[in-house]
Structure 1
């Protein structure tokens, strides 16, 4: 199947209207300062990050397309030869200069720089390279490729590649000072919307602002959800379970941890619902209206209920 993509690296998003669309995932972990970012493309598709939520039309949850939505139309020339990258984090001010992406520093800058340095030292090529910092800007290498603007039903080889890529990323951080007492450093948002595809194959992770030490199951549970499971998808749950197995096998998860995989998926879905519920309690700091926040809570709980309802199907596939 041929795909027509542009070339981009997800870097910054700005809040915008999201009425009439439904979230498709997010990332958060203990100790993370919630920061929400959004971009709109011509179709009603929204990407959010830190914690990140991908929103797509309800009717198109399994639409078989990859629409970059962040190619030439998402960039504009600015003085000095830089290209301003629209749609990204709330910090704004992100530009591409040649083969680098420059973005304002943040509280996560030092950790991300150290993490990307570990990747380079250990020859993990599935992430940007950290190029340095100057004038209040972090500089990262630009990764050419395709980044999906919406979720879909992926092919088996794509799901397998995502699982293998996640394992390679985790392995690159094992026994590192950055991981500390945890087994690995987790991305905490290893969804399709943070993955660069090359020739239709998941090849690199981007946007590490929520990365932190953790358990591999934290990332694996979230990846299995966002790559394989959708409560309103027309793909039968048995087929979704087959792809859960494909991704888990490609990752190489073994017992006894394999027996906790479905629990890890449910935990990430519950965390998603909790995150949006907590924001409803502080509407002055929320990135959306109360109605939109309520819809996200409802969606998250529906995803959780769907997975719980079909738990035996997923567990049987993983056995």
Structure 2
């Protein structure tokens, strides 16, 4: 794997304006992605995964959002780009596969016209080449009868087909960095497997780096090279995928893995993480907020101030010190 980094995000924080005041959603998040690497972002809904991803591709409304830190894409800090420059970066250098393909597609435009529009923005192809490139892309993402599909509207396609179209849009201009936000949500198991295989084929062909946002740990185990676990707007653990699954440390990571259904589990009951992710206005970034959901731990452990992300073994980072003493409530 190349040492050159497609993405280097350093100390990224995002705040949203709520009732006239800015409330911090993610705090001090750092992450990098190399060519041919899949980095998975995992965590429950509300952990900050999509907020971080949309800051990378510049989709926040800056009249209501503050984004600080540094985000280098191909060594250029995209946080300093003008709107016109962003138009050239999106699609050409960064592609995004959105979670809801029906919402991501224009319901009033035919599929082929939407892909042509994505091509036209970047002037990579000449007008006569557009139709050929559209058919090529639809073929590449495994859509049968591409000529027919190019002339159909999004509502005429199945969920799996729409997801393939969204992937075709994301890779139309061959970006080196692809953000896949829950690309297999609401798809059945067979279609999920096909979409994951498709992403891996695209990566192999283009040498792209992929940020895969998901809550499905089985998907992570199958396709990711490295995993960053997010909770309440912070990364609480990061490691190579094999290391994370074999040797999870942070209480949240261990809880996620324990709650994942497994054939090896002899118990009739599925482990459930008590409580919920705190709301945006209730997050205290000076504490490990997950420990509010582990009331059986000693008070001094749960109230650790400003827990830091530290490298405990090469390439394995964990926030705070609670992992050193953590046990589940039913453990001796």
Is the structural similarity TM-score above 0.5? no
Greater strand share, structure number: 2
* Structure having greater relative contact order (Cα 8 Å, sep ≥ 6): 2
- Larger-Rg structure: 2
In the superposition, the TM-score normalised over structure 2's length comes to: 0.30
- TM (normalized to structure 1)? 0.31
